[in-house]
Amino acid sequence: MLLEAKQIGFRYERDLWVLRGVDISIQSGEIVGLVGPSGFGKSTLCRILAGYEKPHEGQVLLHGAALPTSGFHPVQLVFQHPEKAVNPRWRMSRTLAEGGAPDESLLEQLGVQQEWLGRFPNELSGGELQRFCVARALNPQTRFLLADEMTAMLDAITQAQIWQVVKEVARRENMGVLVISHEKNLIHRLCTRVVDLTITNEKT
């Protein structure tokens, strides 16, 4: 399966182009790094790839077809700040079940404790909440995972644990992964290929 963006252009109202003429592709089973300076559109591109934003130019294709608009989305995005991605009125058990029944072994691998399931998001630490968001995104129906600085706020031990789980799931499920990080060591350790947005982005 292939996730690809073709000639993507995007700008906020009355602003200059954030993205222009951007091409990027991710194959199933591939871990791709996306690098570039702050403000150069990396997070915006992730939101477009996941269907949160519509480009003003170009298109995003999943295996040659438009992104689905209903049901569980096969392209999942994990943000740097997990509190923005969960409903504060839902208990964590409901958040996890949103895309289907959670995998118990996956929860254990990510260090998610059963006693947390009855809590609300504001009753968890940022690291605990991020573990939930990663678990929810690593659904068996997920074909591509977009990780936008998703471990930047975590300590080194937690980062290593989460990325090890992501790598194992990606390999087992033949899942494509896009990694955004300012940590060059992480990018080069994880990724099979790196895309530099300063080269492909022709914004003016």
Rounded to whole angstroms, the Cα distance separating 21 from 90 reads 40
Rg of the chain over all Cα atoms, to the nearest angstrom: 17
Closest by CA to 197, choosing from 180, 185, 183, 184, is 180
Integer angstrom CA distances of residue 69 from 50, 51, 75, 116, 119: 11, 8, 11, 31, 30
Residue percentage of the chain with pLDDT more than 90: 71
Mean pLDDT throughout 88-95?
92
Mean pLDDT throughout 97-106?
80
- List helix spans (H) across the chain: 42-49, 92-97, 104-109, 126-137, 156-173, 184-190, 197-200
Closest by CA to 4, choosing from 68, 63, 54, is 63
| Structural domain of 124 | 2-200
**Coil vs helix vs strand at 77:** strand
Instruction: Please tell me the least confidently modeled range out of 67-71, 85-89, 200-204.
Output: 200-204
Residue 46 pLDDT more than 80?
yes
Mean pLDDT score of the chain: 91
The pLDDT score that the predictor gives to residue 103 is 81
The pLDDT score that the predictor gives to residue 201 is 84
Of 102 and 167, more confident = 167
The token duo for 48 is 């477009």
Residue 204 pLDDT more than 70?
no
Residue 107 pLDDT more than 80?
yes
| pLDDT tens for each residue of 126-151 | 999 999 999 999 988 999 999 999 99
Report the CATH number that the domain containing residue 160 is assigned in CATH: 3.40.50.300
**Total number of domains in the chain:** 1
